[in-house]
Amino acid sequence: MNFDDLIGHIGQHTVDGLSKGAIYALIALGYTLVYGVLRLINFAHSEVFMVGTFAVLGVWTALGVENNPPIGQAILFLLIGFVVAAIASGGTALAIERIAYRPLRRKNAPPLIFLITAIGVSLILVEVFGLLLPDLLGKAIPSMFGRARQIVGMPTIIQQETLFTIGNTQITNVQVIVVVSALVMMALLDWFINKTRYGRGVRAVAQNPETAALMGVNQERVIMLIFVLGGIMAGAAALLWSMRFGITQNSIGFVLGLKAFTAAVLGGIGNLRGALLGGLVLGVVEVYGATLFSSQWEDVIAFVILIVILMFRPTGLLGESLGRARA
């Protein structure tokens, strides 16, 4: 138990936790959107994120990005990375919906069948990116060649530097970018769901699918929309992850996905703002816990939080439901 470190550097740990939690929150949105509309845990969403990181790796390699480019180029690379990751992740999410979930929905399959299918899809994606792609793309992406199922490094786009210091808390430029971009993405999504015509359709289907259908909302289109939106958010998370940590691996999605799911449940699954809150809280608690005990217990903390939340407050901090999200 390392209380001194925790109390002495509480500001630093909070900042670290927030910048970690912002990425969880972005991924959590994907779970929350799909759950809010379909009451379905999209287990394969973690792999949507994983595909995003590989898309970033691919496009940066194709552009010949080197370590620490000048600032103008860096911004350009980040923007291109975001667009490509969003397309890749959104496309993957949409493909999963069309190929795996839609046939099951038509048969009115029980929830467990969906879950098992999702696990299968997730396994397929993990293996395709771990095994097939290193062989196929080995020449195009040298850092992946011969590294089946291993960690692949990426160029550093922005060197971590301390931007400003408050007390003994150092805040780096990368942390600021991560948190600010995550907040912007979430504000955009919140606006989209609450203020636009399409968003109204999403909320309507979430509240009552049958009535929404009677009112002329095209359910299938809404379902496609939420998968794509969740995918785009995962793509953004993938870009921020690549920028912050500079590595990826085919199995990266598993633990991150579980944590993002925990974040979604913590905030109240189906609730967009809950996902943000849950992600940030989880990130901070995790860093606190890792400081208190030791970083090797970090993953256990998230699972224990998940179990405790589900036992005592299964609707999460802000309550479930996309339809009735405080709009």
Residues in the site for another protein, rule: CB under 8 A? 40-41, 43, 100, 103-113, 115-117, 119-124, 126-128, 131-132, 148, 209-210, 213, 254, 258, 261, 265, 294, 296-297, 299-300, 302-304, 306-307, 310-311, 314
Cα-Cα end-to-end distance for the chain: 42
Assign residue 319 a region (left: φ > 0; alpha: ψ between -120 and 50; beta: otherwise). left
- Quote the least distance from Cβ 234 to another protein, whole Å: 18
Give 189 or 223: the residue with its C-beta nearer to another protein.
Answer: 223
Task: Reduce the secondary structure of 65-127 to three states and give it as a string.
Answer: CCCCCCHHHHHHHHHHHHHHHHHHHHHHHHHHHHHHHHHHHHCCCCHHHHHHHHHHHHHHHHH
156 versus 315: smaller Cβ distance to another protein: 315
CA angle in degrees (0–180, nearest 5) for 265-268-272: 110
Nearest-angstrom CA–CA distance, 214 and 201: 12
Q: Which is nearer to another protein, 124 or 292 (CB)?
A: 124
Nearer to another protein, 153 or 314 (CB): 314
What is the closest distance, in whole angstroms, from the C-beta atom of residue 231 to another protein in the complex? 19
When the beta carbons of 63 and 310 are compared against another protein, the nearer one is: 310
Q: Is the Cβ of residue 195 or residue 221 nearer to another protein in the bound state?
A: 221
Q: How far is the CB of 302 from another protein (least distance, A)?
A: 8
- Check residue 44 and report its DSSP letter: T
Minimum distance from CB of 130 to another protein (Å)? 8
- Which two three-digit tokens encode residue 139? 């020449």
Three-state secondary structure call for residue 290: helix
Question: Which of 29, 13, 27 minimizes the C-alpha distance to 284?
Answer: 13
The CB-of-188 to another protein minimum distance in angstroms stands at 28
The CB-of-296 to another protein minimum distance in angstroms stands at 5
Closer residue to another protein (CB): 20 or 45? 45
> Closest distance between another protein and the C-beta of residue 36, in Å?
14
- Residue closer to another protein by CB (options 66, 135) is 135
Q: Where are the alpha helices (DSSP H) in 128-218?
A: 133-136, 173-195, 197-207, 209-214
What length does the chain have?
327
CB atoms within 10 A of CB 36: 28
Backbone φ and ψ for 169, nearest 5 degrees, come out as -100, 120
Shortest Cβ 54–another protein spacing (Å): 16
